[in-house]
Amino acid sequence: MSTYKEIYGQEIKIVSSDPSNPTLGQIWYNTSSNQLKGFRASSGGVWSTGTAMNVPRSQLGTAGTYTSSVVFGGRSAPGSPQFGGNITKADKWNGSSWTLDSNSMNDTRAGLGSAGTQTAVVAFGGFSYPPYVVHSATELYNGSSWTTAPNSLPTNYSEMGSFGTQTAAVAAGGNENPVAKTFNWNGSSWTAGGDMTNGRFSMGSAGTQTAGLVFSGNPDAPAKREATEKYNGSSWTNSGNVVTGRHSVGSSGTQTAALMFGGSGPFSTKGSLTEQFNGSTWTAKNNLGTALYQLGGFGTTTNSLAVGGTLSGVSRNFVQDWTPEATVAIF
């Protein structure tokens, strides 16, 4: 677990007081308390300010990992074209900085579904306005340019849950009633999967095509706002409810280890709440530093990024960084 250089090949330091700013993985022996101590990650995390994206975006598409990811589409801030200009271009993250592509998406939209990696993305559905138009087009991204796939979603949907890879993705639900429909993508075409128990849109989602997860969102009945469902590639089963139901959330992780952050809903701290899922139960964690809704995310329950979103009715280029919360342990 250690990342501290002094551990390898050297003796543990003997000190009379604990270090004031220990490094994650550092171990020492405190002679005052006669205790062997170390600085290790806890089960929680904490948010800090990250490097801002090049373009403000909300209701954006995301794909990739904590250190290698891409954002695309979405709505830009008032005062610039809501669905034009740089909002049509992908912004790539390499772990330390963002780089804006020169090529644009073929079908400009927000509220789209997405899955994949930084260099292999599938994007689908979404909406644009004015006038308000809901899309079904599917596009593929190779890390530098976009290609329209020959087969679109069977129905026009926006604000759906989405997860998986460029060749094995899932589109679940959507803002057209809301719906409970599920569609599976195999790299070239869409086929129907099993319906969710609860129709919903603007929910959180995570996982793979055969081990997926959706949670919270805008449901077909307010009493179902806390619902969580698991997908096995063909059917859905209910799981533990979230602590605080809301919609337009950011999310990351897997079916058995997921994060939900931000969002909008009927509670006083809307936009700042964070919850963590362990495969069966949700637990409240440290709040976002800046409250947002309609944001994106990628990563794991250990390291994640919350990107973009809406604050006070304006799209933002904010990035917030979720990292392990460390504590002093006695061995």
Assign 117 a pLDDT band (cuts: 50, 70, 90): very high
Structural element, H or E, at residue 27? strand 27-30
Tell me the CB-side half-sphere exposure of residue 161, using CA atoms within 13 A: 37
Assign 47 a pLDDT band (cuts: 50, 70, 90): very high
Q: Can you give the pLDDT at residue 177?
A: 79
Stronger pLDDT, 221 or 296, i.e. the higher one: 296
Residues above pLDDT 90, as percent of the chain: 74
Domains and CATH numbers, the chain: 46-324 (2.120.10.80)
- Is pLDDT at 65 greater than 90 in this prediction? yes
How far is the CA of 305 from the CAs of 19, 58, 252, 257, 284, in angstroms? 29, 14, 8, 15, 18
Mean of the pLDDT values across residues 249-276? Answer: 89
Please give the single-letter amino acid code of residue 53.
M
Dihedral sign computed on CA atoms, order 141, 259, 198, 132: negative
**Contact (Cβ atoms closer than 8 angstroms) between residue 272 and residue 285:** no
Mean of the pLDDT values across residues 299-325? Answer: 94
Stronger pLDDT, 42 or 289, i.e. the higher one: 289
Stronger pLDDT, 34 or 325, i.e. the higher one: 34
The residue among 139, 147, 42, 141 whose CA lies nearest residue 90 is 141
Assign 6 a pLDDT band (cuts: 50, 70, 90): very low
**18-32, 38-52, 75-89, 279-293: which has the highest mean pLDDT?**
279-293
Phi/psi-derived region of residue 233, left when phi > 0, alpha when psi is between -120 and 50, beta in every other case: left
Q: Can you give the pLDDT at residue 78?
A: 62
pLDDT digits (tens, 9 = 90+) for 200-210: 999 999 999 99
Mean of the pLDDT values across residues 117-133? Answer: 93
Tell me the CB-side half-sphere exposure of residue 193, using CA atoms within 13 A: 27
The partner residues of 98 in beta bridges, in order of sequence, read: 93
- Give the Cα separation of 3 and 25 in Å (integer): 5
pTM, two decimal places: 0.87
The residue among 238, 249, 244, 330 whose CA lies nearest residue 291 is 249
Assign 168 a pLDDT band (cuts: 50, 70, 90): very high
Q: Can you give the pLDDT at residue 223?
A: 78
Mean of the pLDDT values across residues 192-214? Answer: 97
Return the percent helix, strand and coil in the chain, to nearest 5: 0, 45, 50
Structure tokens at 281: 């139960």
Length of the chain in terms of residues written? 331
Q: Can you give the pLDDT at residue 118?
A: 98
- Give the Cα separation of 228 and 248 in Å (integer): 15
Q: Can you give the pLDDT at residue 38?
A: 79
- Give the Cα separation of 212 and 235 in Å (integer): 10
- Is pLDDT at 257 greater than 80 in this prediction? yes
- Is pLDDT at 193 greater than 80 in this prediction? yes
Q: Can you give the pLDDT at residue 163?
A: 98
Structure tokens at 243: 């602590």
Q: Can you give the pLDDT at residue 13?
A: 87
**5-9, 20-24, 212-216: which has the highest mean pLDDT?**
212-216
> What does pLDDT average to over the chain?
90
**Contact (Cβ atoms closer than 8 angstroms) between residue 211 and residue 232:** yes
Q: Can you give the pLDDT at residue 3?
A: 47
Mean of the pLDDT values across residues 177-181? Answer: 89
Mean of the pLDDT values across residues 220-247? Answer: 94
Structure tokens at 72: 């695309």
- Give the Cα separation of 32 and 49 in Å (integer): 37
Q: Can you give the pLDDT at residue 129?
A: 83
Q: Can you give the pLDDT at residue 5?
A: 46
Q: Can you give the pLDDT at residue 76?
A: 87
Q: Can you give the pLDDT at residue 2?
A: 45
How far is the CA of 69 from the CAs of 35, 121, 145, 170, in angstroms? 43, 10, 15, 19
Tell me the CB-side half-sphere exposure of residue 149, using CA atoms within 13 A: 23
